[in-house]
Amino acid sequence: MKKLLVIFFLAGGAPAFSQVITTLEYSMGFATGDLADFIGAPSFRGFTTTFKKLVQPNVAAGVEFGWNVFYDAKGTDVYHQGNFAYSGKQYRYNNQFPMLIRGDYYLKPGEQINPYVGLGLGTMYTLRNTDMGQYRIEEDAWHFLVKPEVGVEFDVNPGFAFSLSGRYYGGFAAGGMAAQGYFAINVGAVFKP
């Protein structure tokens, strides 16, 4: 994460920090694929922050960092992991940390309601824990990540807006872990220079 911040500042973010648009968002996640098989419950524990700059009146570029925690409790049963069988109640956790470079295209710049589409590329760190009694099985991987997005900003005044967006975080298979993906609905506050 530090490397991405350094790249952003070297690319012009530091001298023009007062011109950076900062967004702080609450994120709700809904798992798909392998993640949904492991944890079926949605995540209501998530946070995303973005730092971006307008490079054209309708085009912004920047970085995004997030964290979604998926959790589920399974009943007492016999669970199989590789060549082992475990009996007991399972508590499953999946922490997703997306870090990416993003670009957004605004459809109605300067208007009070401004929809946009976006695309992000980067990486996502996955930390998966399965707890049974005093035992913990831990897996982790760094995934290549692609993130399409649609959203809208509602301007309150020239320096502040509310945002609502839908995103899909698609992490490719990596490190012995299957592809990890989830939809996220984000609601946030946008602070403009």
Q: Provide the pLDDT for residue 3.
A: 53
Number of folded domains that form the chain: 1
pTM: 0.86
Residue 19, pLDDT above cutoff 90? no
Print the domain residue range for 21. 2-191
As a whole number of angstroms, the distance between CA 126 and CA 31 comes to 13
Give exposure, 50-74, as e/b (b: 16+ Cβ within 10 Å).
bbbbbeeeeebbbbbbbbbbbbbee
Summarize pLDDT for 48-65 with one digit per residue, the tens: 999 999 999 999 999 999
How far apart are the C-alpha atoms of 92 and 70, rounded to whole Å?
8
pLDDT digits (tens, 9 = 90+) for 112-128: 999 999 999 999 999 99
CATH number at residue 112: 2.40.160.20
Share of the chain above pLDDT 70, in %: 91
Q: With contact defined as beta carbons under 8 Å apart, do 103 and 85 qualify? A: no
**Residue 67 phi/psi, 5° resolution?**
-155, 120
